[in-house]
């Protein structure tokens, strides 16, 4: 199961531009066999230091890419389908928007830091919109959505509790469609102080309080302050950063990232997403306009913010908000390879706390059935099935049913 990030935000803040920039494959990446899904589903990558250098091997990645020692690991990105554009009616968001929240493991909330979008999501004079208010608006919609989701299931929850099952299990059964699991619920119960209160006695205030906390736990969110290339954006970015103390606010220019990726595709520059530099391949190939645009991006975006923010936002979501670890399963622990001799073929993103057993299950259910133990390929030692995976672990799963 891929990690799935949902892009949310008001109309015209740059969601689709961000999506297009993040899912557009640079030339080297385009050979990767992607499954084409609906247009609003795309494959993006998070980037981490590959273990190949440390292990001193040349790898042959299968489920990911290794570019100059960096592993590019696919994740799923969802954006609203284009049709929805303009469907924003007053403060209501429509089901599609919440649908994205429901399907995602974490949310990328894009605001227009330049303030060129008004309350209703219409494009307006830069500097007039209020991105901080937009953040609160959207957050409120999400809290209401979760509160209602829980309240709609209230009778069912009460009924199912009578069977003696604990509350987190009962709730998780009913909320799993929204990618909310027992752990999320357990944590939210603790953090909201409702752990010891009988569900029957929850007040509407309790429902809301619980929904607020559950939203934070189950749908962690970063704020992308987009359109940093426009003049009034810096001031709004600072306001967002200073006011939203519990959120990570990433300054970004989705348009700049898109421009750079297009320049890569045209063979004009060399650029690794997320880096704060690019190299012009042949100065004489550039039109004056292209030269100007690249120069602007170099000075005003990369120079100021150490990147366009697009790749950084993806990495923060996966490695910070979701606390995913990159784990490399191999069949042969001495060669770090699969059965066909591919070195470090796969990398799996596993949530913190996941064990050898969870990894076996993620690879193949058969593998888990006969699971015996794992081998740490670096050290050549056995690891028990409840060993908690660490970032950059290279492991061989030993199973009676199938060798990993
Ligand atoms: N200046 C600037 N404009 C942007 C940026 N990202 C998007 N836009 C523009 O904002 C408008 C709305 O973008 P779009 O991606 O369709 O927004 P969506 O409605 O949120 O999907 C378009 O005119 C984009 O070209 C950016 O980083 N900088
Ligand atoms: Mg859009």
Residue 298 near residue 291, CB atoms below 8 Å? no
Per residue in 319-350, pLDDT tens? 999 999 999 999 999 999 999 999 999 999 99
If one residue of 14, 230, 305, 311 were mutated to test the ligand 1 pocket, choosing by the most ligand atoms within 8 A of its CB, it would be 14
CA distance 310 to 204: 39
H or E element in which residue 391 lies: none
Residues 59-86: pLDDT tens digits? 999 999 999 899 999 999 999 765 444 4
- 356-375 pLDDT, tens digit each: 999 999 999 999 999 999 99
Q: Which domains does the chain have, with CATH numbers?
A: 4-128+221-319 (3.40.50.300), 142-218 (1.10.8), 326-399 (3.10.20.30)
CA of 12 to the centre of ligand 1 (A): 6
Q: What burial class does residue 384 get, using C-beta atoms within 10 Å of its C-beta: 0-12 exposed, 13-18 middle, 19+ buried? A: exposed
Q: What is the pTM of this model?
A: 0.92
Which SS3 state, helix, strand or coil, does residue 356 take? helix
Q: Is 230 in the pocket of ligand 1 (CB under 6 A)?
A: yes
Q: What is the largest CA-CA distance in the chain?
A: 75
What DSSP string runs through 205-241? HHHHHHHHHHHHHHS-EEEEEE-TTSTTHHHHHHHHH
Residue with the two structure tokens 């600072």: 238
Nearest CA to ligand 1 atom 7: 14
φ and ψ of 77, to 5 deg: -120, 135
Tell me the backbone φ, ψ of residue 229, rounded to 5 degrees. -75, -10
Q: What is the DSSP pairing of strand 371-376 with strand 394-399?
A: antiparallel
Q: Which ligand is nearest to the CA of 110?
A: 1
| Cα 360 to Cα 355: distance, rounded to the nearest angstrom | 9
């Amino acid at each position: 199961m891929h990690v799935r990030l949902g892009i949310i935000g008001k109309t015209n803040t740059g969601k689709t531009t961000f999506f297009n920039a993040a899912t557009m494959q640079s030339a080297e990446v385009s050979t990767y066999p992607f499954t084409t899904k609906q247009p609003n589903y795309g494959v993006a990558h998070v980037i981490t230091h590959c273990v190949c250098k440390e292990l001193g091997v040349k790898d042959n990645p299968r489920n990911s890419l290794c570019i100059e020692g960096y592993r590019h690991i696919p994740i799923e990105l969802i954006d609203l389908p284009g049709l929805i554009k303009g469907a924003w009616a007053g403060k209501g968001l429509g089901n599609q928007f919440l649908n994205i929240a429901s399907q995602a493991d974490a949310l990328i909330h894009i605001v227009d830091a330049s303030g060129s979008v008004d309350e209703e999501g219409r494009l307006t004079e830069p500097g007039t919109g209020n991105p901080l208010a937009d953040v609160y608006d959207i957050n409120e919609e999400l809290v209401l959505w979760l509160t209602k989701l829980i309240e709609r299931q209230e009778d069912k929850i009460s009924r199912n509790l009578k069977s003696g099952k604990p509350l987190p299990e009962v709730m998780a059964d009913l909320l799993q469609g929204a990618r909310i699991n027992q752990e999320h619920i357990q944590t939210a119960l603790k953090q909201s102080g409702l752990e010891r209160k009988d569900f029957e006695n929850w007040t509407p205030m309790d429902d809301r309080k619980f929904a607020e906390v559950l939203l934070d736990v189950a749908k962690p969110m970063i704020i992308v302050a987009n359109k940093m290339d426009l003049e009034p954006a810096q001031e709004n970015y600072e306001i967002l950063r200073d006011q939203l103390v519990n959120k990570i606010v990433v300054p970004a220019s989705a348009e700049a990232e898109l421009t750079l990726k297009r320049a890569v595709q045209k063979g004009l520059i060399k650029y690794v997403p997320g880096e704060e530099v690019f190299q012009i391949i042949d100065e004489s190939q550039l039109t004056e306009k292209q030269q100007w645009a690249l120069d602007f991006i170099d000075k005003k975006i990369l120079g100021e913010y150490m990147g366009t923010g697009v790749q950084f936002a993806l990495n923060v979501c996966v490695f910070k908000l979701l606390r995913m670890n990159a784990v490399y399963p191999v069949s042969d622990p001495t060669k770090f390879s699969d059965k066909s001799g591919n070195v470090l073929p796969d990398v799996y993103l596993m949530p913190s706390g996941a064990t050898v057993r969870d990894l076996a299950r993620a690879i193949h259910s058969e593998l888990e059935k006969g699971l015996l133990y794992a081998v740490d390929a670096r050290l050549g030692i056995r690891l028990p099935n409840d060993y908690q995976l660490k970032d950059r672990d290279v492991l061989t799963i030993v199973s009676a049913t199938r060798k990993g």
